[in-house]
């Protein structure tokens, strides 16, 4: 193994507080910490207690003051609208200050929440940074979620303001946001006092007097008035944002990110884990609605003084499977981070990699993949076509930056296909059986992280310390439960195999089958249901719903199934990618009434399965096999 990785990881293990205190020197603090780590604060301790800072200052003002005023900070590249716009650090700062002034006029101040429901436009990043400048807590909601999901988040975060746009754009269709936003505000108990709306030329939003503000004219007015808004000093332990992620029920978990530890972790990761230097161009091809967008489109690259790309498009179809190479070549990208599904999509359209040959990728050094399991054939295809290292790494919304990786900045270790690398400093990874006993190397079990979690990880869930403890800390005392199953091999490489809960991963998007079941069960003709994730060649997994209809329902089954699909799209959103429903006579259950989802998944995936000893009636599995076969699913 690379001596540098061993050396750095051992240094962290020997003295974690010293390690993070040294890493924290790369950040500008208004006040230094009293204690690097306080174990008795919060749910498992707090990092950089007593320190004060501002995240926007570190991302923008400091860069401008340090000589990067004219360096490009953000490139908005939108093949879907045919536009490219570059913002220097000074220009981005001016945009952020102006929007912060607009927010201030709406009464937004330190600690207030602001929901950002926006497509992939530069203003989404500006909105995040403007909140950070004021010490307000942003909560970005992915544009592919429907009104009901937005309403749940509005009620939990209780935002003073919402920043939105008139529409999102998906290939071949516009998504007007007004009905979604109005629908959400109608459904929610909490009502925001103002909505700041970015009008896009593709679709108009009818502003509601007294509540809605036109983003562009308000920002221009703030600029014309020469408004100055200073960075508001916050505690290192204050929340920067809340990002909702799927839990096991329809109620998402509000992952909290603090300010100080988060900056330290991101800054460290940019150089050491991604091997990117200040001034270089880094591209996180994700969405600001996901954690990758927060960490590696907005905060990580900017805090590091790099140039970041905000891409509004798809890996294929905007306009073709060469888009990624065009962006890399046009902007001089040194490292790209995306989900394996994007590469499976490209490989399907351009198996020979003909588009790769058309572009100058001379500056491009490495591809990073995460968000779902990177299947070895996809990695090998990418390596082969790009002739560059392809680095799988594993982390979660909760951790905010990689837990395990092949650390590019410390010198690459040999690649093991199917493994997202070795533990990063901060993470002491263990594999335990269900009773909490350590398992030998190579044995599959529960992947857990020894407490305390390092800087940058969630300190808790928004207003839900008890749910945090119950979800992550209680099952394996002394450890954080990742809810992933996997093993560590003899060389210390981690292998992540599956989730241990009912979360599925569809095209790199984390979705709750429990949440989908709650919606399917709302259909008046459905008596019982189960939703599972089955293998999908492109998206990794895709949801499959089983429904049992109420006795006496005589309507056409295919119409009911279509209604169920429409219901999930309407309530959760298109991102659920819920398109398959199979009506069955009964659900397979254990004698104690637990639905045998695991066995159903194996049947649907045509994997070997054993008759569960506790099954209530074995004949049901034959019925399901037959129903799936009729649909061409399974064997
Ligand atoms: N707003 C509205 N709708 C959205 C949306 C958004 N921001 N993002 C996705 N959707 C819609 C899609 O249009 C699609 O709708 P459809 O059912 O009418 O076709 C649906 O949600 C499902 O989206 P997705 O699962 O992404 O499938 P896709 O066929 O549109 O695209 C990929 C497939 C592989 C090209 C796409 O998932 C992709 O680019 N993935 C890259 C990885 C990534 O971004 N991962 C995020 C975490 S790193
Ligand atoms: P999210 O919180 O949306 O980032 O999803 C986190 C989950 O995605 C993890 O708990 C894993 O189940 C899965 N995941 C992320 N990265 C990887 C990876 N490199 N390999 C396998 N699974 C991954």
Length of the chain: 635
d(CA 590, CA 317): 46
8 A C-beta contact, residue 104 and residue 128: no
Please tell me the distance between residue 539's alpha carbon and the centre of ligand 1 in angstroms. Answer: 10
Please tell me the distance between residue 474's alpha carbon and the centre of ligand 2 in angstroms. Answer: 21
Structure tokens at 503: 């979360």
End-to-end Cα, the chain, rounded Å: 43
Helix 16-23 vs helix 260-272: crossing angle, to nearest 10: 80
Please state, for a pLDDT cut of 70, what percent of the chain lies above it.
Answer: 99
d(CA 447, CA 621): 31
Please tell me the distance between residue 576's alpha carbon and the centre of ligand 1 in angstroms. Answer: 9
**Which residue carries 């279509």 as its tokens?**
562
d(CA 336, CA 373): 17
Beta strand 234-235 with 52-53 is antiparallel
pLDDT digits (tens, 9 = 90+) for 362-401: 999 999 999 999 999 999 999 999 999 999 999 999 999 9
pLDDT at 1 over 80: no
Structure tokens at 372: 């779902």
pLDDT at 282 over 90: yes
Phi, psi of 495 (to 5 degrees): -130, 125
What is the reported pLDDT for 84?
A: 98
Structure tokens at 406: 């092949």
What is the reported pLDDT for 3?
A: 67
- Residue 607's CB is within 10 A of a number of other CB atoms, namely 12
8 A C-beta contact, residue 521 and residue 384: no
Please state, for a pLDDT cut of 90, what percent of the chain lies above it.
Answer: 96
Structure tokens at 61: 């003002």
d(CA 627, CA 335): 46
Sign of torsion over alpha carbons 84, 88, 91, 92: positive
pLDDT at 456 over 90: yes
Q: What is the CA radius of gyration of the chain?
A: 24
C-alpha distance from residue 511 to each of 576, 578, 589 (Å): 7, 10, 23
8 A C-beta contact, residue 502 and residue 486: no
d(CA 96, CA 89): 10
Ligand 1: does its nearest atom lie under 6 Å from the Cβ of 508? yes
d(CA 80, CA 90): 27
H/E stretch holding 150 reads helix 147-157
Structure tokens at 506: 């569809």
Q: Is 527 left (phi over 0), alpha (psi -120 to 50) or beta?
A: alpha
What is the reported pLDDT for 635?
A: 65
Report the Cα 454 to chain-centroid distance in Å: 19
Structure tokens at 269: 């990761």
pLDDT band at 249 (very low <50, low <70, confident <90, very high): confident
- Residue 575 CB contacts under 8 Å (≥ 6 apart), including other chains: 142, 144, 145, 509, 511
**Which residue carries 């002739």 as its tokens?**
387
pLDDT digits (tens, 9 = 90+) for 474-528: 999 999 999 999 999 999 999 999 999 989 999 999 999 999 999 999 999 999 9
Beta strand 333-338 with 239-245 is unpaired
pLDDT at 83 over 70: yes
C-alpha distance from residue 154 to each of 185, 187, 188, 615 (Å): 8, 10, 7, 42
Is 142 in a helix, a strand, or coil?
coil
d(CA 188, CA 185): 5
Ligand 2: does its nearest atom lie under 6 Å from the Cβ of 505? yes
d(CA 550, CA 141): 35
d(CA 321, CA 304): 30
By CB atoms closer than 10 A (0-12, 13-18, 19+), residue 199 is middle
Q: What share of the chain is helix, strand, coil (3-state, %, to 5)?
A: 35, 25, 40
What is the reported pLDDT for 250?
A: 77
d(CA 49, CA 34): 6
Ligand nearest to the CA of 539: 1
What is the reported pLDDT for 634?
A: 82
8 A C-beta contact, residue 494 and residue 404: yes
pLDDT band at 2 (very low <50, low <70, confident <90, very high): low
Ligand nearest to the CA of 285: 1
The DSSP 8-state label assigned to residue 59 in this structure reads I
* Ligand 1 atom at minimal distance to the Cα of residue 168: 1
What's the whole-number average pLDDT of the chain? 97
Helix 16-23 vs helix 3-14: crossing angle, to nearest 10: 110
Give me the helices (H) in 296-406, please: 300-303, 323-331, 340-349, 354-357, 376-386
Beta strand 46-49 with 35-38 is antiparallel
Please tell me the distance between residue 570's alpha carbon and the centre of ligand 1 in angstroms. Answer: 16
Which domains does the chain show, CATH number per domain? 3-313+393-486 (3.40.50.12780), 507-630 (3.30.300.30)
d(CA 104, CA 106): 5
Please tell me the distance between residue 396's alpha carbon and the centre of ligand 2 in angstroms. Answer: 6
Structure tokens at 572: 């959760």
Ligand 1: does its nearest atom lie under 6 Å from the Cβ of 140? no
pLDDT digits (tens, 9 = 90+) for 586-603: 999 999 899 999 999 999
- Over residues 267-295, mean pLDDT: 98
Please tell me the distance between residue 450's alpha carbon and the centre of ligand 2 in angstroms. Answer: 19
- Over residues 617-626, mean pLDDT: 93
Please tell me the distance between residue 290's alpha carbon and the centre of ligand 1 in angstroms. Answer: 12
* Ligand 2 atom at minimal distance to the Cα of residue 420: 19
* Ligand 2 atom at minimal distance to the Cα of residue 499: 12
Residue minimizing CA distance to atom 37 of ligand 1: 507
* Ligand 1 atom at minimal distance to the Cα of residue 293: 48
By CB atoms closer than 10 A (0-12, 13-18, 19+), residue 437 is exposed
Nearest to 457 by CA among 368, 395, 508: 395
- Residue 297 CB contacts under 8 Å (≥ 6 apart), including other chains: 125, 284, 286, 288, 308, 309, 310
Nearest to 442 by CA among 483, 494, 479, 499: 494
Phi, psi of 280 (to 5 degrees): -90, 165
Provide the whole-model pTM. 0.96
Calculate the dihedral angle through the C-alpha atoms of 547, 550, 553, 557, rounding to the nearest 10 degrees: 0
pLDDT band at 298 (very low <50, low <70, confident <90, very high): very high
């Amino acid at each position: 193994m690379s001596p540098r990785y061993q050396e750095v990881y051992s240094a962290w293990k020997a003295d974690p507080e010293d390690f993070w205190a040294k890493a924290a020197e790369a950040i500008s603090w208004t006040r230094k910490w009293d204690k690097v780590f306080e174990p008795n604060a919060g749910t498992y301790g707090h990092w950089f207690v007593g320190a004060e800072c501002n995240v926007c200052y570190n991302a923008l003002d400091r860069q401008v003051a340090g000589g990067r005023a004219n360096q490009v900070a953000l490139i908005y590249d939108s093949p879907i609208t045919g536009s490219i716009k570059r913002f220097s650090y000074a220009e981005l700062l001016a945009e952020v200050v102006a929007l912060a002034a607009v927010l201030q006029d709406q009464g937004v101040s330190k600690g207030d929440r602001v929901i950002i429901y926006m497509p992939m436009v530069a203003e989404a990043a500006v909105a995040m940074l403007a909140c950070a400048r004021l010490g307000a807590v942003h909560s970005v909601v992915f544009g592919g979620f429907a009104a009901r999901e937005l309403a749940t988040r509005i009620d939990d975060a209780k935002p003073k303001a919402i920043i939105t746009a008139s529409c999102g754009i998906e290939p071949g269709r516009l998504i007007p946001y007004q009905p979604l936003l109005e629908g959400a505000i109608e459904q929610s108990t909490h009502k925001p006092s103002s909505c700041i709306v970015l009008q896009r030329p593709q679709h108009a939003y009818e502003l509601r007097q007294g509540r809605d503000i036109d983003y562009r004219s308000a920002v221009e007015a703030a600029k014309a008035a020469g408004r100055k808004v200073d960075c508001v000093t916050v505690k290192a332990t204050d929340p920067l944002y809340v990002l909702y992620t799927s839990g096991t029920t329809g109620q998402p978990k509000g992952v909290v990110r603090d300010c100080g530890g988060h900056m330290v972790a991101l800054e460290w990761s940019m150089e050491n884990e991604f091997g990117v230097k200040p001034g270089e161009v880094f591209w996180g091809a994700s969405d600001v609605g996901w954690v990758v967008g927060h960490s590696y489109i907005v905060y990580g690259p900017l805090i590091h003084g790099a140039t970041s790309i905000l891409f509004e498009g798809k890996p294929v179809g905007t306009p073709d499977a060469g888009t990624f190479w065009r962006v890399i070549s046009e902007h001089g990208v040194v490292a790209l981070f995306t989900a394996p599904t994007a590469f499976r999509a490209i490989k399907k359209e351009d198996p020979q990699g003909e588009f790769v040959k058309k572009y100058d990728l001379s500056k491009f050094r490495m591809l990073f993949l995460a968000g779902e399991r990177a299947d070895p054939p996809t990695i090998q295809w990418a390596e082969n076509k790009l002739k560059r290292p392809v680095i799988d790494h594993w982390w979660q919304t909760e951790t905010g930056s990689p837990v395990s990786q092949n650390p590019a900045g410390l010198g690459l270790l040999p690649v093991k296909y199917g493994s997202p690398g070795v533990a990063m400093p901060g993470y002491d990874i263990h594999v335990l059986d269900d009773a909490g006993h350590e398992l030998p190397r190579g044995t599959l079990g529960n992947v857990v992280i020894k407490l305390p979690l390092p800087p940058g990880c969630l300190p808790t869930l928004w207003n839900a310390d008890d749910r945090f403890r119950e979800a992550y800390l209680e099952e394996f005392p002394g450890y954080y439960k990742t809810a992933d199953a996997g093993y560590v091999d003899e060389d210390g490489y981690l292998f992540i195999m599956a989730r241990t809960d009912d979360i599925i991963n569809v095209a790199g998007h984390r979705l709750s089958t429990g949440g989908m079941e709650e919606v399917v069960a709302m259909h008046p003709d459905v008596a019982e249901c189960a939703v599972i994730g089955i293998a999908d060649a492109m998206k990794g997994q895709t949801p499959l719903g089983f429904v049992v209809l109420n006795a006496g329902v005589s309507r056409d089954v295919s119409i009911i199934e279509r209604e169920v699909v429409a219901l999930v799209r309407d309530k959760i959103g298109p991102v659920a990618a819920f398109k398959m429903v199979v009506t069955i006579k009964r659900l397979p259950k254990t004698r104690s009434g637990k639905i045998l989802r695991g066995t159903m998944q194996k049947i649907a995936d045509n994997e070997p399965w054993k008759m569960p000893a506790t099954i209530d009636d074995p004949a049901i599995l034959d019925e399901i096999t037959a129903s799936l076969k009729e649909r061409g699913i399974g064997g």
